[in-house]
Amino acid sequence: MIRFGTSPLLTDPSWTSWKKVKIGTELTENLGTKRYFQWKAELAATNPLNSPSIRGIRVYSEWENSSPNEKLGIVATVVHNGQVITPSYPYNYENLNHPELQKFRKKFKLDKIVEGANSEFEIMMRLLHWSYRIPVKEYPYSWNSNDITVYKKSDKGMPQLQWDYEGRRRDATCSFSNLALQGALMSMGYQARFININSEGVSGHEVTEVWSNEFNKWIYLDATRDYYYFDLKTGLPLNLLEIHDKLAEKLPLVETWQKPFAPETGAEVVQQIKIGMREGYNPVSIEEHGYHIIETMGYFRIPLRNDFYSNPLPIPIAQGFTMWGWDGYLNHYDEKFPKRTEFQRQTNRFVDFYEPLNQAQIFLSETDKQGLLKVEVDTYTPGFMNLLVKINDGEWAEQKNAAWKWKLKAGMNRIEIRVKTSEGVPGPVSCVKVTCNP
C-alpha cells in the first residue's frame, strides 16, 4: 500500500488515502507537488510457525530540476538534526503537570533541592542523591511517589533525610527508592521510567532511566546506590542497553537456564568490562556493587507506560518477588540472551526501548522564489508547548507553527530549533547551516 503528500509532516492534510498496489504495478497518476510517499506491506503466512519477513526494498526516482536557486550555490550542512522515530510498541507518557506530581514536588520542597544547579544534568544528580536519602516504605500497591515516601520535617524545616547506611546500598527494596526518583524527576519536568533487569542465575534489580535533553539520550540511574555508569572514552552517561551490550560482548556462551554464566563465572566476566561509575560524595566506593549489578543485566524489560499517576492500575505484578513474568512488560532479547518462552512481548529493536523524545527534526525545501526556503519541523514531545527558533545571531523566539518561510541572506545562514514543553523544559538543539550566493 502507498500514499503521497506534499509535506514530510504526517499531520499535513495533503496526504492521500492509502492505495493498494500489486507487485509489478506502475503508478501513472499525476502527483503534482506530492513528492513524499509512505509505503506499507500486508504480510500473510499459511504456516503459523513461520512469520513472513521483508528482506529489502529499493526505490528508484527521477525528477526535473526546476529550482529557482540553480545559480545561487545554496547548500545545506546539517550540524545536528533531531530524529522522530516511531517504535513498534506505543508508550503512554505521564502528564508531568499532574496534580499528584506537583503535590510531591511541593511537599518535599524539590525546588529547594535543585536551587542553584548549573545544568539539567546537575538537577538530575541532585534528585538522584535526594532519592537515595529520602525514607521510603515498602508499599507494593501503588506507584505514586506520595504513597511510598515518608515525610518528616527536620529541625531546619526541610524534609528529613537518612544518613546512617552501613554500606553503599540504602535500605528497602530497590523499586521504592527508584519510584521515588522517577516521581521527583517527572515532577520537575523530565520523563523518567521504571526498568528491571535480571540474568538466569542471579536475582534481579529495578532501576530508573530518564530522558536527558542535555545528552540527547536515555540514561541509567540507580537510587538504591546513588550512581550511574559512563563511557570511559567519551565521558557520556550510558543507558541500560549500552551497558548490557558490554556484558554480551564479554560473554563466551549463549545464556541458558541450564548453564547460566552467573554466579559461577559472573564476577570474572564483568571484571573484563571497561566502564566508568559515578562515585558521588559517598564514603563507600560503588565499584564492587556496580560490577555486581552488571551481572544482572542479561535481560531487561519495561512496562509500556509511566502514567501511574493518571492511571494507577494495573501496576506490574509482584515486583521484586518473581522474575517479572507479566504480560504487561516489553522484554529485550539478543543473540547472547535469547527469547524466553514465559514472556509474551519481546523485541530486539533499539527504538522500541529508546524512542528519542523532545526532538526537532528540520526539513528544508525550496519555494518558487529565489533565496526563500520553507522550514518544516517534526517532533514527538510529550507535553509539547511550542518551538523555539534562533536565526543566525538573533535571540530565541517562540514559533507556534510547524511550517514557515525563511529568507536567506548572502553568505552563511544558520537556523537553530528546539522544542519547549508545557513544563518549560527545552529540548535538544537542532542546527542547519545554509550558504547562499545571490
User: CB of 402 within 8 A of CB of 378?
Assistant: yes
The secondary structure element, H or E, covering residue 120 is helix 120-133
Phi and psi torsions of 176, nearest 5°: -75, -45
**Which pLDDT does position 53 carry in this prediction?**
86
Q: What is the CA radius of gyration of the chain?
A: 25
User: CB of 7 within 8 A of CB of 403?
Assistant: yes
**Which pLDDT does position 312 carry in this prediction?**
97
**Which pLDDT does position 201 carry in this prediction?**
87
- Find residue 387's DSSP bridge partners: 399, 419
**Which pLDDT does position 27 carry in this prediction?**
73
**Which pLDDT does position 112 carry in this prediction?**
98
Helical spans, DSSP H, in 272-388: 287-294, 350-353
Residue type, 140: P
**Cα–Cα separations (whole angstroms), residue 426 to 134, 207, 300, 380, 396:** 28, 25, 30, 13, 11
CA distance 192 to 96: 10
**Which pLDDT does position 318 carry in this prediction?**
59
- Those residues with Cβ within 8 angstroms of residue 154's Cβ, 6 or more apart along the chain or in another chain: 160, 161
What does pTM read for this prediction?
0.94
**Which pLDDT does position 327 carry in this prediction?**
86
Task: Map out the domains of the chain with their CATH numbers.
Answer: 1-63 (no CATH), 99-353 (no CATH), 361-436 (2.60.40.10)
- Which mean pLDDT values do the consecutive 10-residue runs of the chain (438 residues) have? 94 93 76 88 89 84 84 94 96 98 98 98 99 95 96 92 95 95 99 95 92 99 99 98 98 93 93 98 95 96 97 81 79 96 92 98 96 97 98 98 97 98 98 96
